[in-house]
Structure 1
Amino acid sequence: MSECRLNTSVTDPRQPRPSANLLRRLVAVPTAALSDAMLRLPGAVGVLPVGGPLGECRMAGPALTVRTRPGDNLVVHKAVDLARPGDVLVIDAGGDTSRAIVGDLLCRYAASRGLAGIVLDGAARDVAELRELDLPIFARAVSHLGPYKNGPGEIGGPVSIGGLPVSHGDLMVGDDDGVLALAPARAEHIVSDAEALVAREEQTIAAIKSGTWDRSWVDAALTITPLDDIRE
């Protein structure tokens, strides 16, 4: 029998859940603004939308983490059975893209369970069908080759997604630019800073449209050496 290691907090109903208001705010703010508010520290690289409506692939929810053997999705099926509505399934498949870990059937089942999204450091398939689902799905690649179902795996432990460490319960946020993770204790502070950045960018957009954008900051940030000095 295949082994599945399980963090008991995965099924503990007492585990704190993020407020609906916080999730609404996270969904409304672009990941680029959240990234800037986090000092542009390294995040998930190479994990982009492959499912959910194009241009509307926005997601926020607590991570249910899964680590599986590359090319195998047995433990992923078990994780979907354990997931609670609003969870984001975060699957560490080692970045392997030779075989799809999720496809149409598994993702449809995840949507029926009320998941908020799927993030996969691995490959997906059935992309045309995934685009019809109202479920944001992020993956590293696409492969028509299907998965094995032998195990083993782990649910609820630490994972890595595109170089981004994710712990069970972290807040996952995603849109067409990719995904990032926020520690729950810092989420309110980060989203407030990101909202302020968005407001400032809206002012800049208005200045661009009116032709009044002050560009003096560019030269102020540069040390410009005249060409004549270089020739000498």
Structure 2
Amino acid sequence: MEHTEIGVVHTSITRADPAAVAALSAFGVATVHEAMGRVGLLRPYLRPVYPKARLSGTAVTVLLQPGDNWMLHVAAEQIRPGDVVVAACTTESEDGFFGELLATSFRARGCAGLVIDGGVRDVAELEQLDFPVFARAVNAKGTVKATLGSVNVPVVCANALVRPGDVVLADTDGVVVVPRERAAEVARTAAEREANEAGKRERFRAGELGLDMYGMREELAKLGLRYQD
């Protein structure tokens, strides 16, 4: 997908159903990724900038120009409580687009966190604010405000398509995006998966092997696996 819209702010977007967002927020990124059929992950180089950072919410998307954070200020006005800002860049850039002052502004609008395919700074202050950020890099290098990007357009962030209003979840395992129209369905599947895993967990605790629980022995033997004393 190519970024095509530059210099536009879409002020009206369709957000995922709040009940579905709340349901999804109970699950980890790995569970949601599996529940969707092993899709939706953003690249694993996006990492929490402080330990135990976690977020979930509906996406307000931002398309940045390299070394320029102007559109993050523009995006602040579009944030509604429970939104997560998802920022992509027209080309790779690890400059420090975001810091404590913008986090304070975003928090005042009810923002649930930031996912950015770029750099951020003021990490100690972000942790103090408990404002969760998942970023490509931590970088003290500042940015300018000179070139237009866009807000609330579909973006490709860390190789994943994110549309305004999609559900974004992030934890120590990574970041995943759930298309807004699939949010309720994926939440149901995730709940079923968790219930199934709970039963397996008890069997593992009791000492049962995955080889037997999953019926692996016959297939391994067919492929020629041999045990030698």
| TM-score relative to the length of structure 2 | 0.86
Instruction: Check if 1:198 corresponds to 2:197.
Output: no
Asked if the contact 2:60–2:78 (Cα under 8 Å) also holds between the matched residues in 1, the reply is no
TM-fit CA distance, 1:95: 6.1
**C-alpha distance in structure 1 between counterparts of 2:25 and 2:108, whole Å:** 21
Instruction: State the match for 1:134 in structure 2.
Output: 130
**C-alpha distance in structure 2 between counterparts of 1:150 and 1:123, whole Å:** 18
12, 19, 31: which one aligns with 2:29: 31
Which digits, 9 at most, give the CA deviation of each residue in 1:141-165, with x for residues without a partner?
A: 1111111111211111111111001
Q: AA paired with 2:217? A: D
Change (3 A) 1:200 1:177: same
**1:59-208 equivalences in 2 (<5 Å):** 59-94=55-90, 96-208=92-204
Out of 167-176 and 204-213, give the one that drifted further.
204-213
Out of 209-218 and 117-126, give the one that drifted further.
209-218
**C-alpha distance in structure 1 between counterparts of 2:36 and 2:73, whole Å:** 33
> Structure 1, unaligned stretches of length 5 or more?
none
Asked if the contact 1:47–1:140 (Cα under 8 Å) also holds between the matched residues in 2, the reply is yes
TM-fit CA distance, 1:210: 1.5
Out of 38-47 and 108-117, give the one that drifted further.
38-47
Aligned-partner SS, 2:56? strand
Aligned length: 219
Instruction: State the match for 1:40 in structure 2.
Output: 38
**C-alpha distance in structure 1 between counterparts of 2:152 and 2:209, whole Å:** 48
Asked if the contact 1:99–1:145 (Cα under 8 Å) also holds between the matched residues in 2, the reply is yes
Identity %: 32
Aligned-partner SS, 1:181? strand
Moved over 4 A (4+): none
4, 7, 14: which one aligns with 1:5: 7
> Structure 2, unaligned stretches of length 5 or more?
none
Instruction: State the match for 1:22 in structure 2.
Output: 20
Q: AA paired with 1:37? A: A
199, 208, 214: which one aligns with 1:212: 208
Aligned-partner SS, 2:128? coil
